[in-house]
Structure 1
């Protein structure tokens, strides 16, 4: 009888210990499955229909872990890769790169904030994408007007290599602790050592700061990047945003400026998230204004405008049906087009797109 009681007591103790341990650490496997049918009509060219991945939110697979260290301290990691649901491949085309979206380890304190190291989003992108109704993806995403394809400051500073308008490698950042002042943000540093921009190596210095004033949120972020080809000084990326919440609706105004040497690109966005029966309506108006020169080439007449609208229907908390449409109008020598259309859009012409898709969070 005593032996049985001892075994029961030992089993109960082990169960309690296991439960306690489970409460202090966890590992999560999750992701987003997102696919859509897209139709793109580029002026003067044949229209193209295709299946695309991540038109509402980028398709991905992630592993995330946290551990409660006690005393208000936590440790964690986040590994995330992009997926292409139209063909089952990884999103990254870089040899040997698995977790292209994010790969970080962190140590946090309720009193002192959080230190994060690895490949991560730069402060300007974090702020900008939080105020893009289309989350920087799809036919109406602001990513359409922020690439290294046009002759402008981004291409001049990075060529066709990996640029720091979204992420940076070899990064260390510190995030502010939660506080009663309504302040949120942090500082960011990326190191390139002796590496070349062709290998994704950049020196990055940046910060992000937001302040809540009732229903109004004002924010600013800035990055400075130098690399093996930035002989004209730093590449500067600056974002200023204002966001106003009215019930279930939110209205945003954002300005993002890319500058390198004598070339400047200013993106301005006005957007709205409007509650609607069964889901949400999304609207955006975006412009890209170019100024100055790249070398001896003037770029000031090559402006671009994009107008987008979308509707998201919530089947559940995890599954949605969405519809997006947009139009891009080019001026001067600009030939920006919605991804997925016929190649060779002529300068100054129009690109139109439409897509309908399903997104499931798991």
Structure 2
């Protein structure tokens, strides 16, 4: 009897799948990345050194779901639901009270016209800063990402130069199709603020990939904090940056320059980056990056450099070792180092 019921269930399931396939083809993918390192962290101005086993040495760990349905005629429906996770403790999010799907939570329609997306997605600043520096999206060892996105809570008063997080909630995004290696995103975040309905975030970025040449940049004008529903920042913040890289084969140099300013402060942050990725054998590369950010009004600057090595054991798994130096004007210097492993699934 049980065998008959099982056979009937499988038969009905196959009929339903075939019926669904007659109308549209769809797929759902489970994917993610886990990155853990052991090391010692001391930023400029820190009172002491902290030994750690921590998550996200080179990439913030995450997991989630994404899917696509072919609607016919070149039109597709897409969704993304992905969440950050701290692998060293098993806790969800990048920090306390981070929203569950703070990495992605969106649905879109795409076709020959490009795509239109609604929901939570990357802020305009994020992807250009990732492809425009040799250490990618490392919130631990990439000097550019640290200067742009990671404030220091150690009494130095050093804050992030980006206006409002690396992801925006409540977004409407139009992405152009790829035209000869060029693509752009136009992004609008609804403020959803009672009594402040005119407050919003707007921005754009672009990418050009032409053989060995990479050019990218972004602009943001922000009034709303993130993640989640956010709140009014109390001012308007503006941020822009241009970044480029060229792969010569034996070395890939990176360079960028950008500025950030809030309307309620006379300070203007000016950030310059120089970096390089040097292949070592078929599976390794040396990574070098130096960044300086000047605050125009207070005459304070921060200089950070990183030297490291990344080695791929397979297409999905790599191991790395990083050393970083950090110095803010009139503050004690800091050095950090770590060795870690990163796996994609």
The two structures share one fold, judged by TM-score above 0.5: yes
Runs (5+) with no aligned partner, structure 1: 1-9, 158-162, 293-298, 333-347
* CA–CA distance in structure 1, aligned partners of residues 135 and 258 of structure 2: 16
- For normalisation by structure 2, the TM-score amounts to 0.82
Deviations 1:127-157 (A, max 9, x none): 11111222232542233223344647858x9
Q: In the TM superposition, what are the counterparts of 1:308-319 in structure 2 within 5 Å?
A: 308-319=306-317
- Give how far 1:230 is off: 4.9
SS at match of 2:136: coil
CA distance in 2, matches of 1:189, 1:167: 12
Structure-1 separation of matches of 2:254 and 2:53: 30
Moved more, 181-190 or 138-147: 138-147
Task: Give the equivalent residue in structure 2 for 1:187.
Answer: 186
In 2, Cα distance between equivalents of 1:236 and 1:360: 36
- Look up the match of 2:227: none
Counterparts of 1:1-362 in structure 2 under 5 Å?
14=15, 17=18, 20=21, 24-41=25-42, 45-93=47-95, 95=97, 97-109=99-111, 111-141=112-142, 142-146=144-148, 147-149=150-152, 151=157, 164-179=164-179, 181-194=180-193, 203-227=200-224, 230=233, 232=235, 234-247=236-249, 249-261=251-263, 262-277=266-281, 278-292=283-297, 299-300=298-299, 302-332=300-330, 348-362=331-345
Compute the displacement of 1:41 (Å).
4.4
CA distance change for structure 1 residues 331 and 104 in 2, over 3 Å: closer, same or farther? same
Once residues 129 and 81 of structure 1 are traced to their aligned partners in structure 2, the CA distance between those partners, rounded to angstroms, is 19
Does structure 1 retain, via aligned residues, the 8 Å contact 2:86–2:94? no
1:193 alignment partner, SS class = coil
- Unpaired stretches in structure 2, ≥5 consecutive residues: 1-10, 225-230
Q: CA deviation at 1:17?
A: 3.1
1:6 is matched with none
Moved more, 72-81 or 246-255: 246-255
Classify 1:96/1:39 alpha carbon distance in 2 versus 1 (closer, same or farther; 3 Å): closer
For 1:286 and 1:195, the matched residues in 2 are separated by 40
How far the C-alpha of 1:196 sits from its partner, in A, is 9.1
Shift of residue 58, structure 1, vs aligned partner: 1.1
Does structure 2 conserve the Cα–Cα contact (< 8 Å) formed by 1:32 and 1:361?
yes
Deviation for aligned residue 1:263: 2.0
State whether residues 274 and 282 of structure 1, in contact with CA within 8 Å, keep that contact through their aligned partners in structure 2: yes
Q: Secondary structure at the match of 2:204?
A: strand
Scaled by the length of structure 1, what TM-score is found? 0.79
Q: Is the 8 A contact 2:132 2:216 kept in 1?
A: no
Distance 2:199 2:285 in 1: 39
Q: Distance in 2 between matches of 1:92 and 1:196?
A: 30
* 8 A Cα contact 2:133 2:255, kept in partner: no
Provide the aligned length of Structure 1 versus Structure 2.
318
> How has the CA–CA distance of structure 1 residues 349 and 94 changed in structure 2, closer, same or farther, with 3 Å as cutoff?
closer
Q: Is the 8 A contact 2:26 2:67 kept in 1?
A: yes
Shift of 1:357: 0.7
Question: Post-superposition shift, 1:19?
Answer: 9.6
Cα drift, residue 96 of structure 1: 8.2
Partner deviation per Cα, 1:109-134 (whole Å, 9 max, x = no partner)? 1x210111111111122211111222
Report the CA distance shift for 1:283/1:22 in structure 2 as closer, same or farther (over 3 A).
Answer: farther
Instruction: Give the CA deviation at 1:276.
Output: 1.0
In 1, the alpha carbon distance for the partners of 2:127 and 2:305 equals 22
